[in-house]
A and B are shown apart, each in its own frame.
Chain A
Amino acid sequence: MKQMLSLPAGLVAVLLGLLPAMAQGADFLPFRGDSRAAIEQAHAGRAMILTFWSVDCAYCMEDLALLGEIVRRHPQIALVTVNTDDDNGAVNAAKVLDKAGLPAHARWRFATQDSDRLRYQIDRKWYGELPRSYFYDKQHRVKAVSGKPDSAWLHGWLQEFQAVRP
């Protein structure tokens, strides 16, 4: 308790001030040009699946369901989702994502009108096809996958992780 109280008063004030802003954000964090690096840093030393999706992409729903199943069975793998829709699409994004029934995870959304530029900053080899996912192992060796991951490859990738019984 003492440690908590010893937080600088100014920092506490900043944090409290942020609370309404975060609540207003409909629980999406704003994804910008440097966000991929920030997310990688925040998950350093931990396996992670970073996936980009849109409400307008039927394959994305199947893919999110698959990824959700993977992280449920392998809780040591972090899941980070990024919605790529513009402001029009984002109205539904939170609802759609809630419906997908994923385990609690960090939810981001493109926070710029220039999604082409943002994509270029994320990965120059990504041309906008969705879903687009990045599979990081613990050392953060990363495999980029467009669409559904090849099941043989995925099986191999998951060997490193211990599964929990469903």
Chain B
Amino acid sequence: MMTMLNTLKRFIYACLLVTPTLLQAHEAHEHGSQPQGAALAVSLALDENGTLWRVAVEGGRVIVQASTDMGREFDQPRKLNASPQKIGTDGDARPKIAIGPEGNLYVTWTQALTKPYSGHIWFSASTDGGRTFSTPVIVHRDRAEITHRFDALTVASNGRIYVAWVDKRDLHAAQANKQAYAGAAIYYAYSDDGGLTFKEEQKLADSSCECCRIALATDSDGHAVALWRHVFDGGVRDHAIARFSGQPLMEAKRASFGNWKVDACPHHGPALARGGDWGWHMAWFDGGEKAGLYYARMDGEAWVSSPARRFGLPEQQAGHPALASRGEQVWLVWRALTAQSAIVMLAYSDDGGRSWQDAVQVAETGGRADHPQLLTQGDAVWLVWNTANDGLVSRRLLP
């Protein structure tokens, strides 16, 4: 009897704890301004006319919209996939958009399949200035229901399209042979005909982290450089960098040395921007005891990085960086949280990232907020930031 009573008491206690939250949840659903499930994860690109292009996911469709006023209003959505798919928009997953030198628009996304962690990378192009988009195709030849996820997309100045992603075919092959294999792999494919066809995918590196975005950029020769979180010996999740073109041009080199040893999914990939002829700007999140946001210069010949420099305040969750560079100017933005709001902080350097001005806050919002992105067009550098309460925030960054 006593046991029954105790059980009942516990049940009552549990209910009392739960009741207010259930009611709140109901209210929030009724009156919240954001529809439930609306993903904030978008990607943006600026064309040479100053039109802002946005790709997002709505109701299982990848949608592309244009704005001629830097994001205050967008036109009617173009739906790229005819039938709804489950499309990754949480953590570091989001659809991507890039613009080629001839003005073509390219979009990639990851469709989640039925098996856990599995996915296919889709691609669609517009060659008529965004009026219509091609029937989407899967980029990779391997169609196994395994991980092909975290698509990254960039276009070189010669028009070559690079798509890179996280791929687990080598992990599964190793497992089938009862061999050890750490992490996943980085694969890529490229197209020299505006996305009509992609060359068969190639492996860039073994043992990447499984769930972080890949940072992808191109140099003036049309080569690509990828920066990603990697699994080094002993489960250390630092970053690796590699240059590639029609084929890999180097072995992956270690790019960060935080020695964060963790068997976990950080969901927190790096940022990369081309510096002058000397190399690359890198920004990344590092975890563990010294968790925070870091920046370093990477020499593009010797592949040796400068000492990591820390940005952001402790306990403000500084992270999800974006980088832009023009000549010796460098803009680094990141998202941080305060007690009331989400903010975007900006650090600026006019000497190629050797020294930095004090960071300043450049945007703030009261509700949910996406990762910040930087866009360059002509002389202008723009911060674009998708928020639940204030829509798409855009700020031209000075100088």
List residues of A whose CB falls within 8 A of some B CB.
1, 3-4, 11, 14-15, 18, 21-22, 25, 29-30, 32, 35, 38, 42, 54-60, 62, 85-89, 96, 111, 113-114, 116-117, 119-120, 124-125, 127-132, 146-148
Q: A residues within 8 A CB of B13?
A: 42
Contacts of B287 in A (CB 8 A): 127, 129, 146
The answer to whether A55 and B116 have CB atoms under 8 Å apart is yes
CB–CB B319/A127 < 8 A: yes
Distance to closest chain A CB from B331 (angstroms): 23
Contact residue among B5, B17, B36, B337 (Cβ-Cβ distance under 8 Å from A116): B337
* Cβ B90 vs Cβ A147 within 8 A: no
Contact B18 A22, beta carbon cutoff 8 Å: yes
Report if B310 contacts A (CB, 8 A): no
CA distance A116 to B41 in the complex (A): 13
Of the stretches B126-134, B257-265, B321-329, the one at the interface is B257-265
- Nearest Cβ on chain A to B207's Cβ, whole angstroms: 14
Cross-interface CB contact of B21 among A1, A86, A111, cutoff 8 Å: A111
- When the two chains form the complex, which single residue of A15, A56, A113 contacts B265, counting CB atoms closer than 8 Å? A56
The answer to whether A30 and B25 touch (CB under 8 A), given A59-B263, A87-B37, A128-B268, is yes
What is the chain A residue whose CB lies nearest that of B38?
A: A113
State the CA gap A36–B268 with chains docked (Å). 24
Q: List 27 A-B contacts (CB under 8 A).
A: A18-B18, A18-B19, A30-B25, A32-B24, A56-B116, A56-B211, A57-B211, A59-B263, A60-B265, A86-B90, A113-B36, A113-B388, A116-B369, A117-B337, A124-B317, A127-B268, A127-B287, A127-B317, A128-B91, A128-B267, A128-B268, A129-B267, A130-B264, A131-B264, A132-B264, A147-B263, A148-B263
5 nearest interchain CB pairs?
A: A147-B264, A147-B262, A124-B315, A147-B263, A148-B263
Distance (whole angstroms) from the CB of A51 to the closest CB of chain B: 12
A111-B25 CB under 8 A given contacts A18-B19, A85-B90, A124-B315: yes
With A56-B117, A116-B368 given, is the CB distance from A35 to B21 under 8 Å?
Answer: yes
Q: Number of residue pairs across A and B with beta carbons under 8 Å?
A: 120
Give the distance in Å from the alpha carbon of A57 to the alpha carbon of B287 in the complex: 17
- Residues of chain A contacted by B90 (CB below 8 angstroms): 56, 85-86, 88-89
Q: What CA separation (Å) do A113 and B370 show in the bound complex?
A: 12
Contacts of B267 in A (CB 8 A): 128-130
- Closest B-chain residue to A92, C-beta based? B116
Any chain A CB within 8 A of the CB of B210? yes
Q: Pick the contact of A4 from B5, B263, B266, B368 — CB < 8 Å?
A: B5
What is the CA–CA distance of A35 and B25 in the complex, to the nearest angstrom?
Answer: 13
Instruction: Check A15/B12 contact, CB under 8 A, given A58-B117, A125-B291, A129-B266.
Output: yes
A residues less than 8 Å from B319 (CB atoms): 127
Chain A residues with Cβ under 8 A from B5's Cβ?
A: 3-4
Q: Is the CB of A116 within 8 A of B317?
A: yes
In the complex, whether B86 has a CB less than 8 A from a CB of chain A is yes
Query: Which chain B residues border A85 with CB–CB below 8 Å?
Result: 90
Residues of B within 8 A of A88 (CB): 37, 86, 90
Q: Report the bound CA distance from A30 to B1 in whole Å.
A: 31
Complex CA–CA separation, A18 to B15 (angstroms): 8
User: Closest Cβ of chain A: how far from B219's Cβ, in Å?
Assistant: 31
Which among A38, A56, A86, A119 has the highest number of chain B CB atoms within 10 Å?
Answer: A56
Known: A127-B268, A129-B287. A32 touches B21 (CB 8 A): yes
Q: Which residue of B lies closest to A112 (CB)?
A: B28
* Residue in B closest to A96 when the chains form the complex, CB atoms: B116
Q: Is the CB of B8 within 8 A of A57?
A: no
Distance in angstroms between the alpha carbons of A148 and B237 in the assembled complex? 14
Chain A's closest residue to B34 (CB) is A113
Q: Which residues of B contact A60 (CB under 8 A)?
A: 265
Contacts of B369 in A (CB 8 A): 116
Q: Contacts A38-B17, A120-B317: A114 and B367 contacting too (C-beta < 8 A)? A: yes
Q: Which of A15, A30, A124 contacts B15 (CB 8 A)?
A: A15
Q: How far is the CA of A3 from the CA of B1 in the complex (A)?
A: 10
